[in-house]
Amino acid sequence: MLSRFIALTGLTVGIFSVMGAALVPVKARPDDKKPADPAAEKKALAEVQDFIGLWKLEGTQKSGAVTKAWKEDVSWGWRFKDGAAWVVADFGGGKGKHFGAGELRYDAAKKKYRLTLAAPDKTEQVFEGDLAKGGGLKLERTDAKTKDVYRLTLNTLAEGDRFQVKLEKQDGGKGLFDTQFAMNGNRDGTSFAGGAKKPECVVSGGAATIAVNFGGKTYYVCCSGCRDEFNASPQKYAK
């Protein structure tokens, strides 16, 4: 899967949707046209291919003795441009409870994943980290004023059909981490019990849910970013 994905070419960045959820992109980095190591970046991001798709999540957050709950659709999808590849996320159609949009990249020089999250008020938070031992990502950021450390973990379960998000806080960078909120749920169209194996995305190799057509045949891709990549070079991927 990785060798095929590394061969991807680029497309123009635009607002897109995954299964109907509109994404609000985070501001692109200045060096989009000249990725430091595009092969390494694509390979590293392919490690979290299971994130791609639309998720039906339920969030919980404690406020004193009361636990508040809410429902939120979260979607992840690939983007390609001039040899660069990255992943974008949408939380609640850009109006999620804590975040609106996200952009996940891999810094090949630092060998770190970097997730930039935009709050509904457009302020940004940047988390950096690595792959977690059990899969998924473990990322952190430190508040410059308070020195509070925020830890964000994202991972999938049940063979990629369940998704978990958890944000924890360490006051002043010392002591134990306290959970700020958590979100858990299923991939759109699946249940906790799971189901039949999904088709494979002809672009990235991940679980696919979107049908595309070429030469009278139907193929499948995992997100609208891969759909655009397929439509730009259908003969390449139809092989």
Residues in the chain predicted with pLDDT less than 70, given as ranges, are 1-35, 191-198
**Residue 144 identity (one-letter amino acid):** A
User: What does the alpha-carbon distance between residue 74 and residue 152 come to, in Å, rounded to a whole number?
Assistant: 15
| Domain positions in the chain | 2-196
**Res 35: pLDDT:** 63
Q: Is the Cβ–Cβ distance between 181 and 63 less than 8 Å?
A: no
Tell how strand 17-18 and strand 84-91 pair up. unpaired
Q: What pLDDT, on the 0 to 100 scale, is given for residue 159?
A: 86
Q: Bridge-partner residues for 76, per DSSP?
A: 53, 89
Q: Which CATH architecture has domain 2-196?
A: Beta Barrel (2.40)
pLDDT of residue 18: 35
Contact 158, 136 (CB under 8 A): no
Those residues with Cβ within 8 angstroms of residue 196's Cβ, 6 or more apart along the chain or in another chain = none
Half-sphere exposure of 55 (CA within 13 A, CB side): 29
* 8 Å CB contact between 161 and 54: no
> Looking at residue 200, what is its pLDDT?
82
Which 3-state string (H, E, C) describes the chain?
A: CHHHHHCCCCCCCCCCEECCEECCCCCCCCCCCCCCCHHHHHHHHHHHHHHCEEEEEEEEEEECCEEEEEEEEEEEEEEEECCEEEEEEEEHHHCCCCCCEEEEEEECCCCEEEEEEECCCCCEEEEEEEECCCCCEEEEEECCCCCCEEEEEEEEECCCCEEEEEEEEEHHHCCCCEEEEEEEEEECCCCCCCCCCCCECCCCCCECCEEEEECCEEEEECCHHHHHHHHHCHHHHHC
Q: What is the pLDDT of residue 191?
A: 57
Distance CA 24, CA 77 (A): 12
pTM summary value: 0.75
